[in-house]
Structure 1
Amino acid sequence: MTASEYLAWERQQETRHEFHGGEVFAMAGGSLRHNALGAALIRDLGLSLRGGRCRVLTSDQRIAAPPGSSYVYPDAAVVFGPVELESGTNDVLLNPTVVVEVLSKSTEAYDRGEKWEGYRRLASVVDYLLVSQTAARIEHFQRQADGSWRYSVSETGGQVRLASGATVDIDSIFAGVFELDGD
């Protein structure tokens, strides 16, 4: 299947699918804990970034990572400045600045591997967050001025500071989530 065939087909589907190397992969629904973490991140990112020139986007936003070869759905994304869409589309984002993935047993290797490789190839991405479902822990990859990536981990009592200066409070994100079913 070509990328254009995938996009035409995907727009007709009731469920989401990702596309890599000519293959289509169905996206499984997340656990209650996974969804609560995604919602908390979107809420807190929105509050931390309000008043600026940014857009916080949900897990329904398709991203070309990289354009023309892979199409993925992160758990959340942020765009600073004008939104750039793939030519001829109104639903394929080209310029996420922050990308968030909530880890699950079935997707952790993919989120750390192939998906991360695609995001790293986008010049716009400066912050990549991997959110644990099993501990109050967020891993943060931040692009440096020389193009390298700095890795840090924030846990209970800590904060993640994005390149924009916005912060994500670990205790706020994880409040009450361990009472919910996870995977």
Structure 2
Amino acid sequence: MARKPYITPEDYLTTEREADFKSEYFDGEVFAMSGASRARNLLVSNLTISLGTRLGDTCSVFPSDMRVHVPASGLYTYPDVSVVCGEEQYLEDAYLDTLLNPLVLLEVLSLSTGKYDRGDKFLFYKSIPSLQQYVVVESQRPLVGVYSRSTDSTWLFQEYKGLGAVLPLPALNLELPLAEIYRRITFPS
């Protein structure tokens, strides 16, 4: 079996900045990202709007077009929502399109991405020194999981279930009602 050619991070970034679609990069390989469903797009929109409204000018809330680099693993990826409070840090180039210091990352899970987002992707994300919370939002039911970094750098996991629940985000000093996150979402029966 022929080996795939190794692509350097620099070649990936050059191609990615000119591409008509987004791709992730890991370990010399490029992975095209698929389109998103109505539910996933609404969830990302609801999260972005809710966080942006509550945070105002105190933090920057980025939708899924902001690339994040995880230096420890070499991963370049596009979280569904990224939040930075304080000074934003980027790759040292002129583009300001690859974020290095997210405080909170949020991913909306789909049937095809859920295992990766909860597994390997979380393992990569937790190596980001600035990251304090990683939020995974189910798209098939009102259920949100939160991984939070403790003071001893271990990670704690909590789940919030049902439209009456409230998601605490102490890293951002705010709470989000699940009813707001899941506004206009129809769940499969």
Q: TM-score, normalised by structure 2?
A: 0.90
Q: 1:159 aligns with which of 160, 166, 173?
A: 166
Name the CA distance, whole Å, in 2 between partners of 1:176 and 1:32: 10
Q: Taking CA–CA contacts closer than 8 Å with sequence separation of 6 or more, which of the two structures ends up with the larger relative contact order? A: 1
Compared with structure 1, are the counterparts of its residues 66 and 117 closer, same or farther at alpha carbon in structure 2 (3 Å cutoff)?
A: farther
1:178 corresponds to = 186
Contact 1:64 1:70 in 2 (8 A): yes
Q: Give the aligned residue type for 2:111.
A: K
Shift of 1:13: 0.5
Name the counterpart of 1:136: 142
SS of residue paired to 2:18:
coil
C-alpha distance in structure 2 between counterparts of 1:11 and 1:59, whole Å: 15
RMSD of the alignment, in Å? 1.4
Give the match's secondary structure for 1:24: strand
| Residue segments in structure 2 that go unaligned for 5+ positions in a row | 1-6
CA offsets 1:111-145 (integer angstroms, 9 cap, x no match): 11221112100011101010001111110011111
Larger radius of gyration: 2
**Could you tell me which residue of structure 2 aligns to residue 69 of structure 1?**
74
Question: Which range moved further: 12-21 or 85-94?
Answer: 85-94
Contact 1:67 1:94 in 2 (8 A): no
Q: How far apart, in 1, do the equivalents of 2:179 and 2:70 lie?
A: 31
- Distance in 1, Cα, partners of 2:96 & 2:55: 24
Give the number of aligned pairs.
179
The worse-fitting range, judged by mean Cα deviation, of 74-83 and 88-97 is: 88-97
Cα gap change, 1:2 to 1:51, in 2 (>3 Å): closer
Moved over 3 A (4+): none
Q: How does 1:1-183 map to 2 (within 5 A)?
A: 1-52=7-58, 54-66=59-71, 69-88=74-93, 89-156=95-162, 157-162=164-169, 163-178=171-186
